[in-house]
C-alpha cells in the first residue's frame, strides 16, 4: 500500500497545502503579483496617459462656458509728423504713448453646442476610465494564468520527482537481486530505461517551471528570479462546485464589466457629439464688455497766470481823433499732464450684445453633423458587437468550465483505478509473479493519469477564474 499512499499524498497534498519550509516574506502571493504588474506594466501607463488627456479635454469643455477676460498693454514711441493719441491733432515731434485695454465676452447661446460638448467630453472621460480598468482586468487575468502555470509546473516537478524516486528504488532493489543472480538481466535494464525516462521527465518539468516563472516575471516587469516561490492555493480557493449559470454570468457582466461600460460611454459620447454639431445650425448670442484708457507724452495742460490790458491795432474815432482799443489778454503757463491723471481722465467703457447668424458657411455645419452621425453609427456597432462577443465568450467559457469540471471528476476516478492496478502489479512484480512489461505498463498508466489530473485541476481553476472575472468578483 505504500506506493499508492505516496502517490495520492503527492497529488493532493502538494496542491492544497502551503510550503511551511519557506521563510515568511519570501513567497509571492497572487495579490502581490497582480499589484506588481499593475505598477510596472507599461501598457497601463500609456492608457492612463490617454485617460488624463480626456480629463483635460473635459476641463477645457467646462472652461469654455465661462466668460473670458483679456488685457492688452501697448507702450511705444513715434517720431515725425503723426497724430497725437491724446488730442487727435497732428504734431511733429517725438511722442511716447501708452494704451491699456481690458475686454471680456461670454457666449449666451449657441444652439447648446458648449453644453453638449461638456456632456460629450464627460462620457469620453468615463469611457477612458473604463478602458483603463479593462486593461488592468486583462493584465490581471494574464497574471492569474501565469501564476496557475507556476503552481501546475511545481506539482508536475513534485510528481516527476516521486516517479523518478520510485524507479530509482526499484532499480536499486533489482541491482541487488541481479548480483545474486535472482533475476534475468532484462528486468533490471527495463527498469533502468524507465528511470532514465523519468529523469528526462523531471528535467522537462523543471524547465517548464522555470519558463512559467519567467512568464510571470515578465508580466510583472521585474528581473527573472529562478528561485521565485508563489503561495499555494488552499482547498477553499479551489472549489469543484460553481454556483452560477451562463445567463447569470452574462447579466452580471453587462452591469459590471469594464469593456461593456466603456462601449456604452463611447456610444453616449458620440450621441452628444451629434447634438453639439447640430448646434452649428443655430445663431449665436454673445455679450461683451470693454474698458480703455491711454497716455501721451505730448499731452499738456494750460494754467491761467494773469490778465493784463494790451493795446491793439484796432481804434475808434472819438471827437475826430483815433483812440487805440485796449483789450484784456490772459497769460497761461503750460505743463505736462501726469501719467496717472491721463489714465484716470481718458478711460472709456462699452457694453455690446452681438448675434452671429450662420447663413452660408461652406456646408461646414452640415458636414460636421454628417461626420458625427457616422461616428455614432460606429459607436453603436461597437457597443452591439461587444455584447454579442461577450455573450459568445461567456457561453464558451461556461461550456469549457463544465467540461473541465467533468474531466477532472473522471480523471480522479481514473487515478484511483490505475493506482490500485499499479499496486497489484508492483506486488506481483516484487514477488516475481509479474513481468517487467506488466509493471511498466501499470506504472506508465498511473503516471499519465496523475499528470492529466494535475493539468485538469488547474484547467478547471482557470475556467472558474475567467467566469469570476466576467462577474467582477474578487480573483483572490
Confidence of residue 86 (pLDDT cuts 50, 70, 90): low
Asked whether the predicted pLDDT for residue 147 surpasses 50, the reply is yes
Instruction: Look up the CATH number of the domain holding residue 67.
Output: 1.20.1600.10
For residue 379, how many other CB atoms are within 10 A of its CB?
21
For residue 107, how many other CB atoms are within 10 A of its CB?
17
Average pLDDT of the segment spanning 113-125: 95
What pLDDT does residue 85 have?
64
What pLDDT does residue 350 have?
95
Asked whether the predicted pLDDT for residue 418 surpasses 90, the reply is no
Each residue's pLDDT tens digit, 368-417: 999 999 999 999 999 999 999 999 999 999 999 999 888 888 988 998 99
- Is 213 among the domain residues? yes
Each residue's pLDDT tens digit, 276-312: 999 999 999 999 999 999 888 888 887 788 888 888 8
What pLDDT does residue 10 have?
41
Confidence of residue 181 (pLDDT cuts 50, 70, 90): confident
* SS3 state of residue 345: helix
More confident residue, 302 or 421: 421
Each residue's pLDDT tens digit, 8-37: 444 444 434 333 333 344 688 888 998 899
Average pLDDT of the segment spanning 104-129: 94
Domain count, the chain: 1
If 0-12 CB within 10 Å is exposed, 13-18 middle and 19+ buried, where does residue 334 land? exposed
- Is 338 among the domain residues? no
- Is 240 among the domain residues? yes
Confidence of residue 267 (pLDDT cuts 50, 70, 90): very high
Average pLDDT of the segment spanning 105-117: 93
Average confidence score pLDDT of the chain: 84
- Is 182 among the domain residues? yes
Asked whether the predicted pLDDT for residue 442 surpasses 90, the reply is no
Distance CA 76, CA 59 (A): 38
Residue 280 CB contacts under 8 Å (≥ 6 apart), including other chains: 111, 113, 358, 361, 364, 365, 368, 369
- Is 133 among the domain residues? yes
Average pLDDT of the segment spanning 426-441: 76
* SS3 state of residue 106: strand
Each residue's pLDDT tens digit, 61-76: 999 999 999 999 999 8
- Is 148 among the domain residues? yes
Containing H/E element for 296? strand 284-296
Average pLDDT of the segment spanning 149-162: 86
* Helix pair angle (246-256, 436-470), 10° resolution: 40
What pLDDT does residue 476 have?
64
What pLDDT does residue 9 have?
40
Positive or negative, the CA dihedral 175, 177, 180, 186 is negative
Average pLDDT of the segment spanning 43-60: 92
Residue 27 CB contacts under 8 Å (≥ 6 apart), including other chains: 18, 19, 229, 230, 231
What pLDDT does residue 2 have?
42
- Is 116 among the domain residues? yes
Cα separation values, 422 from 155, 210, 225, Å = 21, 31, 38
Listed range (75-79, 248-252, 366-370, 441-445) with the worst mean pLDDT: 441-445
Confidence of residue 106 (pLDDT cuts 50, 70, 90): very high
- What are the helix (H) ranges across 22-112? 30-40, 42-63
- Is 276 among the domain residues? yes
What pLDDT does residue 190 have?
81
- Which residue segment(s) compose the domain that 67 sits in? 2-79+107-284+361-470
Cα separation values, 119 from 26, 57, 68, 471, Å = 49, 11, 21, 29
What pLDDT does residue 7 have?
42
Confidence of residue 431 (pLDDT cuts 50, 70, 90): confident
Confidence of residue 239 (pLDDT cuts 50, 70, 90): low
Positive or negative, the CA dihedral 123, 129, 131, 137 is negative
More confident residue, 270 or 335: 270
Confidence of residue 249 (pLDDT cuts 50, 70, 90): very high
Average pLDDT of the segment spanning 133-152: 88
Asked whether the predicted pLDDT for residue 134 surpasses 50, the reply is yes
Amino acid at each position: 500500500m505504500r506506493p499508492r499512499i505516496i502517490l495520492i499524498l503527492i497529488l493532493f497534498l502538494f496542491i492544497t497545502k502551503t510550503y511551511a519550509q519557506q521563510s515568511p516574506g519570501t513567497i509571492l502571493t497572487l495579490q502581490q503579483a497582480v499589484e506588481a504588474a499593475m505598477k510596472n506594466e507599461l501598457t497601463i501607463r500609456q492608457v492612463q496617459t490617454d485617460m488624463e488627456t480626456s480629463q483635460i479635454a473635459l476641463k477645457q469643455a467646462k472652461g469654455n462656458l465661462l466668460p473670458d477676460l483679456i488685457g492688452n498693454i501697448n507702450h511705444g514711441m513715434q517720431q515725425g509728423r503723426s497724430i497725437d493719441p491724446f488730442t487727435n491733432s497732428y504734431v511733429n515731434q517725438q511722442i511716447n504713448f501708452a494704451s491699456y485695454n481690458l475686454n471680456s465676452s461670454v457666449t449666451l447661446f449657441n444652439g447648446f453646442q458648449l453644453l453638449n460638448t461638456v456632456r460629450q467630453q464627460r462620457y469620453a472621460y468615463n469611457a477612458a476610465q473604463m478602458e483603463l480598468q479593462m486593461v488592468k482586468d486583462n493584465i490581471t487575468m494574464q497574471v492569474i494564468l501565469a501564476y496557475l502555470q507556476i503552481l501546475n509546473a511545481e506539482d508536475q516537478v513534485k510528481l516527476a520527482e516521486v516517479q523518478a524516486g520510485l524507479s530509482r528504488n526499484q532499480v536499486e532493489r533489482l541491482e541487488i537481486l541481479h548480483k545474486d543472480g535472482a533475476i534475468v538481466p532484462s528486468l533490471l535494464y527495463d527498469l533502468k530505461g524507465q528511470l532514465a525516462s523519468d529523469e528526462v521527465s523531471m528535467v522537462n518539468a523543471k524547465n517548464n517551471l522555470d519558463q512559467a516563472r519567467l512568464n510571470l516575471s515578465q508580466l510583472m516587469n521585474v528581473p527573472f528570479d529562478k528561485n521565485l516561490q508563489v503561495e499555494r492555493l488552499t482547498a477553499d480557493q479551489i472549489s469543484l462546485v460553481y454556483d452560477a449559470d451562463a445567463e447569470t454570468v452574462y447579466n452580471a457582466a453587462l452591469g459590471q464589466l469594464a469593456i461593456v461600460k466603456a462601449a456604452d460611454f463611447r456610444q453616449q459620447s458620440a450621441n452628444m457629439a451629434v447634438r453639439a454639431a447640430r448646434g452649428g445650425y443655430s445663431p449665436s448670442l454673445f455679450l461683451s464688455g470693454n474698458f480703455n484708457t491711454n497716455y501721451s507724452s505730448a499731452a499738456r495742460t494750460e494754467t491761467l497766470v494773469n490778465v493784463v490790458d494790451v493795446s491793439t491795432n484796432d481804434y475808434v474815432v472819438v471827437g475826430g481823433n483815433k483812440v487805440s482799443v485796449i483789450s484784456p489778454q490772459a497769460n497761461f503757463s503750460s505743463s505736462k499732464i501726469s501719467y496717472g491723471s491721463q489714465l484716470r481722465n481718458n478711460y472709456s467703457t462699452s457694453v455690446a450684445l452681438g448675434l452671429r447668424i450662420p447663413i452660408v458657411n461652406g456646408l461646414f455645419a452640415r458636414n460636421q453633423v454628417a461626420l458625427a452621425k457616422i461616428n455614432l453609427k460606429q459607436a453603436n456597432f461597437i457597443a452591439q458587437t461587444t455584447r454579442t462577443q461577450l455573450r459568445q465568450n461567456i457561453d464558451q467559457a461556461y461550456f469549457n468550465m463544465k467540461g473541465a469540471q467533468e474531466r477532472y471528476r473522471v480523471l480522479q476516478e481514473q487515478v484511483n483505478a490505475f493506482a490500485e492496478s499499479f499496486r497489484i502489479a508492483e506486488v506481483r512484480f516484487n514477488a516475481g509473479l509479474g513481468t517487467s512489461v506488466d509493471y511498466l505498463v501499470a506504472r506508465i498508466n498511473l503516471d499519465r493519469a496523475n499528470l492529466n489530473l494535475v493539468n485538469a485541476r488547474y484547467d478547471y481553476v482557470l475556467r472558474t477564474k475567467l467566469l469570476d472575472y466576467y462577474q467582477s468578483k474578487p480573483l483572490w
